[in-house]
Structure 1
Amino acid sequence: MTYEPVYTRTPRNAFVPSPVFVGILAVFGVSGWMTWAGFGNVKVDVFLFIVTGWLLSLCLHEYAHALVGFFSGDKTVADRGYLRLNPLKYTSPLLSIVLPVIVVILGGIGLPGGAVWIDHQYIRSKAKDSLISAAGPLTNVLLALIVAAPFWAGFGLKLVPTATGQYVATGEAAHLDFWSALAALAFLQITASVLNFLPIPGLDGGSIIQPWMSPAYQRAWNLFAPYGFILLFLALWQTRLGDWFFTIVYWLGEHLGLSQVLIQYGLQLMRFWSGS
């Protein structure tokens, strides 16, 4: 006979944001103000603003997985601290936090990281199982729309190319550094949204469709899951898939009011160690 623990009480502080998350949020807010005001070294300000903004989105992405998992039947996520928005509680902080941040800094792309661990024995529905996996990418979609809102609403800065190859600023022409950093942050959310919905083993997109497979296909799918992230990484940087991917992402960005040149300028500012 096997014993399954019964969780009858959720820890009192299960939904209280962790000090780590509050600290990241504080740095994000302060660096955003410093970027807007042009205080100190603006490149460092932009670096802190984009990186902490990306960290916040990673926390919210994993929190969405855990929250939907909690209300779908897996109460154990509360005991593991997943509902406190603490990135140090994830199954692999190296994959969930460190690697995605490094890729953002060096490659300017929002790669998905590791994930919170959901005990699927408590999830009694295929639809709920898929929804748990979809919650994270949907969070990135929502964040992309929120961050890009000032641009498609006409409040943010836009750089429009002219026939002579120059660019004309439209909208809020002041605070170029802030608007370029915000555009880069929105761009990262778009890349994360697209990547996370790809039906690849080991990624959220693959986990969305996995519950609907036959047991035999699920076993084969699980064999490839540990390598899905690595294969995606190599494909983006070593094949034409990367060119197609960025074409799609920039197309989506344009429809949200994001200028490609503004995004690139924001990512360039973020690399404060670069002389360019």
Structure 2
Amino acid sequence: MFHWDFITLVAGIPGLLLAMAVHEYAHALVAVKMGDRTPQLAGRLTLNPFSHLDPIGTILLLTVQFGWAKPVPIQSGNFRHWRQGEISVALAGPAANLFTAFLFLVAEIFFITYDLFTTTQVHRVLQMIVLYNINFAVFNLIPLPPLDGSRVVTAILPLRWQYRLAAWERYSFIILIIFLATPVVTYVLLPLQQLVLTAYMFILSPLL
């Protein structure tokens, strides 16, 4: 059992690094496109995953497959349209993860169909890339500061409620740790992961 866990852990490293890189790069890229060069000046407009690592979030990703990266610094006052910019930047990361997961699922189906790279190790790495990207997207859509879901909610709330939600950010680390230690992962996040996978398989069913 330990051997399987260790192999899965190692196989998951490429997926973890890729999920963080595309997620944070997408945030940075859209922010720059919307008029804020802060991510570029901070060196976050890059696909280098080591520029985006958060120690605690990375450990949680490796152990429970849900976690976070270091947030991209953004000055929303620089956006040409504040509300549109906030929502677009927040959704860019999860969208990039879901797109990446879909591409690698297509790649795995292609490899299986044409009997390419049929080693167990290759397929496990591809599977973990798909899962980590889906998990990263799902987890970051939780409406709790500083996750992306909270930024979407904040952008559409009246100003007084924005301040109330932002006040929770000081407790967010503790809340996230408790959140991951409860059955919420099993009963909420994992079913959402499976829902995304089911939708992808339905879309790709003509290829199977």
> TM-score, normalized by length of structure 2?
0.79
Q: Which residue in 2 is equivalent to 1:113? A: 69
Across the two proteins, how many residue pairs are aligned to each other? 197
1:45 shift after superposition: 7.8
Q: Which amino acid aligns with 2:73?
A: W
Aligned to 1:216: 160
Letter in 1 for 2:15: G
Q: Give the aligned partner of residue 233 of structure 1.
A: 177
Match for residue 195 of structure 1? Answer: 139
Partner of residue 103 from structure 2, selected from 122, 137, 146:
146
Deviations 1:75-127 (A, max 9, x none): 2322221213345555xx4xx3x2233123222x1322331100122113211
1:182 Cα shift? 1.5
SS at 1:114 equivalent: coil
**2:89 counterpart (127, 132, 138):** 132
CA displacement at 1:154 relative to structure 2:
5.9
Per-residue CA deviations over 1:222-273 (Å, capped at 9, x if unaligned) read 110233343233223223453232133234334445xxxxxxxxxxxxxxxx
Structure 1 residues 214 and 155: alpha-carbon distance in aligned structure 2, compared to 1, 3 A threshold: same
Unaligned runs of 5+ residues in structure 1 are: 1-41, 158-170, 258-276
**CA separation of 1:89 and 1:177: change in aligned 2, threshold 3 A:** closer
1-structure distance, mates of 2:184, 2:139: 15
Paired residue type of 2:77: Q
Asked if 1:207 corresponds to 2:151, the answer is yes
> Structure 2: how far apart are the matches of 1:172 and 1:251?
28
* CA contact 1:202–1:226 (8 Å) conserved in 2: no
Match of 2:129 in 1: 185
Conserved in 1, the CA contact under 8 Å of 2:140 and 2:147? Answer: yes
Cross-structure match for 1:267? none
Paired-residue identity, %: 22
Check the 8 A contact 1:202/1:227 in 2, yes or no: no
2:78 to 87, 101, 122: 122
* Distance in 1, Cα, partners of 2:8 & 2:182: 29
Partners of 1:112 and 1:45 in 2: CA distance = 22
CA shift at 1:172, angstroms?
Answer: 7.1
Amino acid at match of 1:250: Q
Give the corresponding residue for 1:73.
35
Q: Which sections of structure 2, spanning at least 5 residues, go unmatched?
A: 202-208
Contact kept? 2:111, 2:118, Cα under 8 Å: no
Secondary structure of the equivalent of 1:68? helix
Specify the structure having the higher radius of gyration (Cα): 1
1:176 is the counterpart of 2:120: yes
